[in-house]
Amino acid sequence: MDGLHAPTPPGLGIVPRKAPPLDIAAIPRFWFDNDPFKTRFFDALSLLFPEGEKFFIACVRDYRANITDPALQQQVKDFIYQEGQHGALHTAFNDRLKAQGVQVDRILARQRKIMFDGFRGKLPRRYTLGQTAAAEHLTAIMAHRFTHADVFGRADPIARALFAWHAVEEIEHKAVAFDVLRTVAKGGWLNRAASMLQVSVTFPLHVVLLMNHLLKLDGVLPDPQVWKDGRQWLLGSDGLLRPLLGEYLQYYRFGFHPNDQGDVARIQRWREEFAAHGDARLATDRTLHA
């Protein structure tokens, strides 16, 4: 570490928690506000997580043997543990989609081909670590947003507990891939900017393609009003993702570091609750209603 930045967000450590027991099978089909578009946005994210997280782990592992700082070495270990647990619980969540007719295995096989045969098979290791740090930044700024009480207010309590647990841990480990890129792989600004530009196209593109597929299965497409209303909810002037634009752009600043942004105080309540009783649903309910 160069001493300029705290290794984890101030006041936070990376806690390697076992995936919390949640009754995933009980989550209804349209679990978010009984709304297909809102539900399928988060379902699409969930479909991207298990393979994406395996990719992130592989890209950070490429440099693991070169890490000399014991603090960063420990963070990488905890990062790998957390991402592994996320993959496990999101796999259970995605298995639920199979019963709805979603070809989950085919979708995941295609993602593996793109990420492991395509990206990792053809691109330099330093660049794929750049892709990982970029994706982790997008995940972290969404995670900060998703821990706002107003976001999941009308969502199913089990599904939102899954996303809240995941969001808290994404915030805890948000700087790990970035720090390995910067201090160990010596990835510079050009790597960071180029990989972020690419991920900013390919990640939303995959979300849209998956949503299109899922909403067609639901029979709500090809109604153009569905995309129109959904776009407003997601990207409109008071949309879900609109407040993230500034934090997104910060990534292109020369002196950017993930721990310099985001309100981490908000997730403290969740962490304290979970540490006390280990019930993700209760911790989420109490945090959202705080």
Task: Kindly state the smallest distance separating residue 79's Cβ from Fe ion, in Å.
Answer: 7
3-state secondary structure of 32: strand
Task: Kindly state the smallest distance separating residue 180's Cβ from Fe ion, in Å.
Answer: 13
Nearer to Fe ion by Cβ, of 176 and 226: the residue is 176
Cα 207 to chain centroid distance, Å, stands at 12
- Supply the DSSP string of 185-239, one letter for each residue: S---HHHHHHHHHHHHHHHHHHHHHHHHHHHHHTT-TT-HHHHHHHHHHHHSTT-
List of residues contacting Fe ion (CB under 5 A)? 83, 86, 136, 170
CA distance 103 to 97: 8
Nearer to Fe ion by Cβ, of 40 and 86: the residue is 86
Task: Kindly state the smallest distance separating residue 170's Cβ from Fe ion, in Å.
Answer: 5
Nearer to Fe ion by Cβ, of 142 and 226: the residue is 142
Beta bridge partners of 155: 32
Nearer to Fe ion by Cβ, of 35 and 170: the residue is 170
Task: Kindly state the smallest distance separating residue 118's Cβ from Fe ion, in Å.
Answer: 21
* Alpha helices (H) along the chain: 36-61, 70-98, 104-112, 120-122, 125-146, 157-172, 176-179, 189-217, 224-235, 245-250, 265-277, 280-288
Nearer to Fe ion by Cβ, of 14 and 67: the residue is 14
Task: Kindly state the smallest distance separating residue 224's Cβ from Fe ion, in Å.
Answer: 33
Nearer to Fe ion by Cβ, of 17 and 230: the residue is 17
CA distance 62 to 227: 40
CA distance 60 to 176: 9
Task: Kindly state the smallest distance separating residue 141's Cβ from Fe ion, in Å.
Answer: 12
